[in-house]
Structure 1
Amino acid sequence: MKPLLTVFTPTYNRAYILGRCYESLKKQTCKEFIWLIIDDGSTDETKNLVEKWIAAGEVNIRYYYQQNQGMHGAHNTAYELIDTELNVCIDSDDYMPKDAVEKIAEFWRRNGSSEVSGIIALDCYTDGQIIGTHLPKGIKKCKTFDLYYKYGAKGDKKFIYRSDLTKQFPYPIFEGEKYVNLAYKYCMIDLDYEMLLMDEVVCCVEYLNDGSSKNMFRQYINNPKGFAFWRKEAMKMPLGGLGYKYRQAIHYVSSSLILKNKYFLKESPRKLLTILAVLPGIILYKYIIANTGKQLRLRTSSRKVEGNANG
């Protein structure tokens, strides 16, 4: 039987933690999945480690190595390679409860159809606590945007998508940058489809210090083209009210200032809103610059302390 699900994991120099995800996949009560590992240019022992796991034959593993493109570039590659009906991203520092694949497969076979784009399920911390809120009761399906902005859900959730849909809307690659908000693809799919709600945990999450979630200020500075692209797209989408679009305009202004793009107003899809966002955008820009400098100083100080201790 062809596997129903691809669990794909983008990874970059995470050999020290990737084994936890592997161990969780070995224990799955349902084996109807492929583990697709996208190695985004690792220089550690990732390749050797994965080759040993493939040789062991306990998990159906596909491994693909590419030059470093960042998270969104690894997602692009994964979606090109996936050939199962469903897919879900499990990051290299996360893992799945032993019945996660079973829950996904059974739920989809009972409720799935071509009229929905997939399933929204829950993430939890490693201690079992749900991240944010549970999914709204009495609602069987909704758009991902409505989940947060209409029904008030909070915190990261796990999105399991139909693979024919995730092959659409590839993330743009900007030279010299390694980040585009993954929400771009989800919002584009959101325009035409709702997702089924499954109030069950399918992923255990740990936010490590070398992960993108804890380095967001630095992401802003290093990837302003990617951030500006997403903010412009968000302003164009028929999702959310004026307040939502105004927030996007503020972020667009701040990213444009980082880029030193003097044509940002001309390039904006919502010019009046962008004019009104200039002052708060400047304030946000200064806040980002200040916090990025603070993070760099803290890291430098930490390295000095470690060096003195090791010396």
Structure 2
Amino acid sequence: MKTLTIFTPAYNRAYCLGKCYESLLRQTNQEFIWLIIDDGSTDETGKLVDSWVKEQKIEIQYYYQENQGMHGAHNKAYQLIETDLNMCIDSDDYLADGAVEKIIHFWQKNGNKDVSGIIGLDADQHQRVIGTRMPAQIKRSTLFNLYNKYGVTGDKKLVYRTELTNKYPYPIFQDEKYVGLAFKYYKLDQEYEMLLLDEVLCHVEYLEDGSTHNMINQYRKNPKGFAFYRKELMKLPYAGQLFKFRQAIHFVSSSLMMRNQYFLKESPKKGLTLLAIPFGLLLYVYILFKSRTVKHV
């Protein structure tokens, strides 16, 4: 069996998916499977992937489902993956040359059951590392501590042990398409640290139709998903009060968005949530204003 599955959620991304495919063809180590979760595309994604499957240059698995959003595509990927390790490469990103070789070699040398996986670097299209590199003084950390204790910034590439990633499935809310992916990662942080690999594994591009550029509208359209996410982050046993207070502000805002009058009763941190109400109200008004502005741009 191969060691690594690289999975790619795709929704109407036939126009940019080829760059990801070409980067996989360039890999010096072919001990991976490319799993594409087609999340309800209405473009030529299926036909394009079928043509690549027929080329038989790399092992490709393709699965189509009705549109559920990024987190729903992740849920399905984790159900299907059978390799020891997995990583997500978004449809508008591509793998760095030699990345598979680096991951497998590093894991064979350092991996064990005491860690949940590997954290590597993302870079932009011009080879510049996104945010900061890994701190030289440590070899392993939770994802949460990497950002909140060691001051690392920017998106990072995560490689997880597959036996762990079916834990904590993302909930699916009717008529909504978004739940923060870090919910699962921070849950796993309660049990494991991750190995730090100061190597670029992925090149990222933030397209205009991507979730990063559409976050304001995501916030407006998916209040149940956002409220769930903020409640879960308030429960984290290792997070400080300031972090939890920020989550409470967002929880109040999302609760107002969904007109949930029982949000204070439902909050895992009622005192913090009570204090956060005026700030959450301001955020709610700001989101309404910004989403209308974005809609008319």
Amino acid at match of 2:191: D
Task: Please give the secondary structure, in 1, of the residue aligned with 2:35.
Answer: strand
State how far apart, in whole Å, the 1-side matches of 2:289 and 2:11 are: 28
Deviation at 1:240, TM superposition (A): 1.6
Displacement of 1:141 in angstroms is 0.3
Inter-partner Cα distance in structure 2 for 1:31 and 1:295: 43
For structure 1, the residue ranges without an aligned partner over 5 or more in a row are: 299-311
Question: What is the letter of the counterpart of residue 248 of structure 2?
Answer: A
Q: Distance in 1 between matches of 2:281 and 2:42?
A: 39
Corresponding residue SS for 2:213: helix
**Paired residues, what number?**
297
What is the 5 A alignment of 1:1-311? 2-298=1-297
Counterpart of 1:308 in structure 2 is none
Deviations 1:221-250 (A, max 9, x none): 110000000111111110221000000000
CA distance, structure 2, for counterparts of residue 97 and residue 254 of structure 1: 39
Aligned residue number for residue 303 of structure 1 = none
Percent identity, aligned pairs only? 60
| Letter of the 1:142 counterpart | S
Distance (whole Å) between structure 1 residues aligned to residue 243 and residue 187 of structure 2: 16
Report deviation, 1:285.
0.6
Amino acid at match of 1:290: F
Specify the SS of the correspondent of 1:159: strand
Two-structure CA RMSD over aligned residues (Å): 0.5
Q: Please state whether the residue corresponding to 1:213 is helix, strand or coil.
A: coil
**Structure 2: how far apart are the matches of 1:56 and 1:148?**
42
Rounded to whole Å, the distance in 1 between the matches of 2:191 and 2:152 is 21
Quote the offset at 1:165 in angstroms: 0.3
Distance in 1, matches of 2:168 and 2:234, equals: 17
For 1:42, what is the secondary structure of its paired residue?
coil
User: Aligned partners of 1:108, 1:91: CA distance in 2, in Å?
Assistant: 22
2:46 partner amino acid: K
Q: Report the Cα offset of residue 183 of structure 1.
A: 0.5
Which sections of structure 2, spanning at least 5 residues, go unmatched? none
Partners of 1:57 and 1:258 in 2: CA distance: 48
Secondary structure in structure 1 of the residue aligned to 2:33? strand
- For 2:234 and 2:198, locate their aligned partners in 1 and report how far apart those are by CA, in whole Å: 30
Partner secondary structure for residue 212 of structure 1: coil
Task: Answer 1 or 2: which has greater helix percent.
Answer: 1
Secondary structure at the counterpart of residue 16 of structure 1: coil
In 1, Cα distance between equivalents of 2:120 and 2:97: 15
Equivalents in 1 of 2:205, 2:215: separation in Å? Answer: 16
SS at match of 1:170: coil
Structure 1 residues 93-138: Cα deviation after superposition (integer angstroms, max 9, x where no partner): 0001120000000000000000000000000001100000001112
Q: What amino acid sits opposite 1:208 in the alignment?
A: L
Deviations 1:1-42 (Å, cap 9, x if unpaired)?
Answer: x21000000000000000000000011000010000000000
Q: 1:153 is matched by which residue type in structure 2?
A: V
TM-superposition CA deviations, 1:181-203 (whole Å, max 9, x none): 00000011110000000000000
Looking at structure 2, the residues matched to 26 and 253 of structure 1 have their Cα atoms a distance apart, in angstroms, of: 47
Q: Give TM-score scaled by structure 2 length.
A: 0.99
Tell me the distance in 2 between the aligned counterparts of 1:268 and 1:45: 44
Distance 1:198 1:154 in 2: 15
Distance 2:137 2:104 in 1: 22
Q: Which amino acid aligns with 1:258?
A: M
Letter in 2 for 1:95: Y
